Amino acid sequence: SAEAVPQAPEDPLYGLKRAFLADPSPNKVDLGIGAYRDDNAKPWVLPVVKKADDILRNDPNLDHEYAPIAGIPTLTSKAIELLLGADSPALKEKRTTSMQTISGTGACHVGALFCARFFRGNKTVYVSDPTWANHNQIFSNVDLPVVKYPYFSKDTKGLNFAGMKAAIADAPEESIILLHACAHNPTGVDPTVEQWAELADLVAQKRHFPFFDCAYQGFASGNLAKDAAAIRLFVERGIELIIAQSFAKNFGLYGERAGCFHVVTDTPETATRVASQLAILQRSEISSPPLYGARIASIVLNDPALFAEWEDNLREMSGRIISMRTALRAKLEELGTPGTWNHITDQIGMFSFTGLNEAQVLKLREEAHVYMTKNGRISMAGLNTKNIDYFAKAVDKVVRE
Ligand code: PMP
């Protein structure tokens, strides 16, 4: 009977959000959120998304029929171009297949399911230590074992590249290697282009199967091509791979669940066969994907003027986050806060691994009403010109205690 179902713990991020909402302090700062906030700590609807929404609502032919199983073709075709570049040989040679998914999480799930069913190599997923917490359960939900490879160095608060390489070299041939395409969550630490090139060589040599999770393209640096550089490098090496793509952050379409899953193969015939199997997986799980967010993204991606405006919007979001990194580091250095703070500006994207320990994190919550995850991760988007002084002083205090 259902009575035998044990109680599961609450998702830590949602628990943190609840605690923040319940805190009556006017000074409270939410640095747990995984969504962009403007300088007034408010959600930001991208101006280009508002325009696309107007176009959509004024379309007299708009209906609410089912999307095709693989999603809206005008979205999926542009979505893969965004990742690989429009002139990618893989596209010209039709060695790719794409399917719309329930945002990035759905894309990761479809990828996990695809690997569980069809992967013939070592069915173990190697993930960075640490990684986005959801990765662990997404893979274990389809019974794929998860093994960690070293990633974050506590000493430098940067990449443990030697450790990462050694683990990938030691993994059995043809293992599944999960890689964050850019703006690693939760650390904000990415390999350099040169390091990516070394990793691509290693992955090719070991015939590993890369699983790219791409949740922050354009949001990290403000430059779509730059944020896809790692994926492009692997594809240029002729490595077969899969990509989970989210439009949550870069379009601000969090709740609309727009994303895609892509497979880049050696031959067009393989791509066709993969597509046929993906269609069956999709049909049994969601039948057909949701329309609204996909339509918005498709309108923007297919219109050169709107696309250019989207790039402006991306630069505005990433620019504000980068300016908060600069300001936070400067303030901590000005205060003479013990430790080094260059990692704040070295790291990239939505999140920063501050290096604060669990005791300090809890103190910040109790004494300063600052909410962040226990691992010391802060969402840079939660900082703004009004609360950054307050936050820096609070950090200074707990570090000295
Ligand atoms: N992967 C990573 C690494 C993420 O940070 C996120 C967003 N938190 C996702 C995937 C997917 O998010 P969504 O399902 O909202 O697109």
34 lines ligand 1 (CB under 6 A): yes
Using the 8-state DSSP alphabet, how is residue 9 labeled? P
What is the spatial distance between Cα 208 and Cα 321, in angstroms, rounded to a whole number?
Answer: 34
Per-residue pLDDT at 12: 83
| 67 domain residue, yes or no | no
Pairing of strands 122-129, 175-180: parallel
Q: Are residues 102 and 168 in the same domain?
A: yes
What is the CATH number for 324?
3.90.1150.10
Looking at ligand 1, which atom is closest to the CA of residue 180?
Answer: 3
Q: Which amino acid is at 129?
A: D
Q: Which amino acid is at 76?
A: T
Long-range CB pairs of 327-330 (<8 Å, 24+ gap) are 327/383, 327/385, 327/388, 328/380, 328/383, 328/388, 328/391, 328/392
349 lines ligand 1 (CB under 6 A): no
| 262 domain residue, yes or no | yes
Q: Are residues 212 and 348 in the same domain?
A: no
Angle CA 252–255–100, to nearest 5: 85
Q: Are residues 271 and 180 in the same domain?
A: yes
- Give, for 211, the enclosing helix (H) or strand (E): strand 209-214
pLDDT tens-digit series, residues 388-397: 999 999 999 9
Mutational test site, ligand 1, from 128, 135, 185, max ligand atoms within 8 Å of CB: 185
| 93 domain residue, yes or no | yes
| 143 domain residue, yes or no | yes
Mutational test site, ligand 1, from 190, 246, 286, max ligand atoms within 8 Å of CB: 246
End-of-domain residue from the set 302, 331, 360: 302
> Sheet harboring 96-102: ordered strands across?
96-102, 258-264, 241-246, 209-214, 175-180, 122-129, 146-150
215 lines ligand 1 (CB under 6 A): yes
| Residue 371 Cα distances to 43, 163, 189, 218, 382, angstroms | 17, 31, 21, 27, 10
pTM (2 d.p.): 0.96
| 102 domain residue, yes or no | yes
Smallest CA separation from ligand 1 atom 13, residue: 104
Q: Residue 349 is part of which domain span?
A: 11-45+318-400
Q: Are residues 326 and 295 in the same domain?
A: no
End-of-domain residue from the set 276, 302, 328: 302
| pLDDT values of the chain reduced to their tens digit, one per residue, 401 residues | 999 999 998 888 888 999 999 999 999 999 998 899 999 999 999 999 999 999 999 999 999 999 999 999 999 999 999 999 999 999 999 999 999 999 999 999 999 999 999 999 999 999 999 999 999 999 999 999 999 999 999 999 999 999 999 999 999 999 999 999 999 999 999 999 999 999 999 999 999 999 999 999 999 999 999 999 999 999 999 999 999 999 999 999 999 999 999 999 999 999 999 999 999 999 999 999 999 999 999 999 999 999 999 999 999 999 999 999 999 999 999 999 999 999 999 999 999 999 999 999 999 999 999 999 999 999 999 999 999 999 999 999 999 99
Task: Give catalytic residues, as residue numbers.
Answer: 132, 213, 249
Using the 8-state DSSP alphabet, how is residue 291 labeled? S
Q: Are residues 296 and 328 in the same domain?
A: no
